[in-house]
Amino acid sequence: MLIKRRQGWEAPGRDVTPEAAFFGRRAVMKGAGAIGGALGLGLSLSPALADEAPPPGIPAAAMRFKPGRALTAERVAETYNNFYEFSTDKDMWRLAQKFPQRPWSISFDGMVEKPFTIGIDDLLKQMQVEERVYRHRCVEAWGMTVPWSGFPLAKLVALAKPTSGAKFIAFTSDENPKVMPGLDGFMPWPYVEGLTLAEANNELAFIGTGLYGKPMPPQNGGPIRLITPWKYGFKSGKSIVKVSFLEKQPKTFWAELGPDEYGFWANVNPGVPHPRWSQAQERLIGTDQVVDTQIYNGYGEWVASLYAGMPQTRKLFM
Asked, for residue 2, whether it belongs to a domain, the answer is no
pLDDT digits (tens, 9 = 90+) for 147-182: 999 999 999 999 999 999 999 999 999 999 999 999
Range of the domain at 104: 8-317
Q: Work out the average pLDDT over 200-207.
A: 98
pTM across the whole model: 0.84
Q: Is residue 130 part of a domain?
A: yes
pLDDT value for 186 = 84
Amino acid 11: pLDDT: 34
Residue 141 has pLDDT above 90, yes or no: yes
Is the Cβ–Cβ distance between 167 and 309 less than 8 Å? no
Q: Does residue 183 fall inside a structural domain?
A: yes
Query: Residue 210 domain-assigned?
Result: yes
Q: Is residue 1 part of a domain?
A: no
Question: Contact at 8 Å (CB) between 106 and 118?
Answer: yes
User: pLDDT tens digits for 74-93?
Assistant: 999 999 999 999 999 999 99
pLDDT digits (tens, 9 = 90+) for 206-245: 999 999 999 999 999 999 999 999 999 999 999 999 999 9
CATH number at residue 161: 3.90.420.10
3-state secondary structure the chain: CCCCCCCHHHCCHHHCCCCCCCCCCCCCHHHHHHCCCCCCCCCCCCHHHCCCCCCCCCCHHHHCCCCCCCCCCHHHHCCCCCECCCECCCCHHHHHCCCCCCCCEEEEEECECCCEEEEHHHHHHCCCCEEEEEEEECCCCEEEEEEEEEEEHHHHHHHHCECCCCCEEEEEECCCCCCCCCCCCCCCCCCEEEEEHHHHCCCCCEEEEEECCEECCHHHCCCCEEECCCECHHHCCCCEEEEEEECCCCCCHHHHHCCCCCCCCCECCCCCCECCECCCEEEECCCCEEEECCHHHHCHHHHHHHHCCCCCCHHHHC
Give the model's confidence band at 252: pLDDT under 50 very low, under 70 low, under 90 confident, else very high: very high
pLDDT over 80 (residue 46): no
Number of domain units in the chain: 1
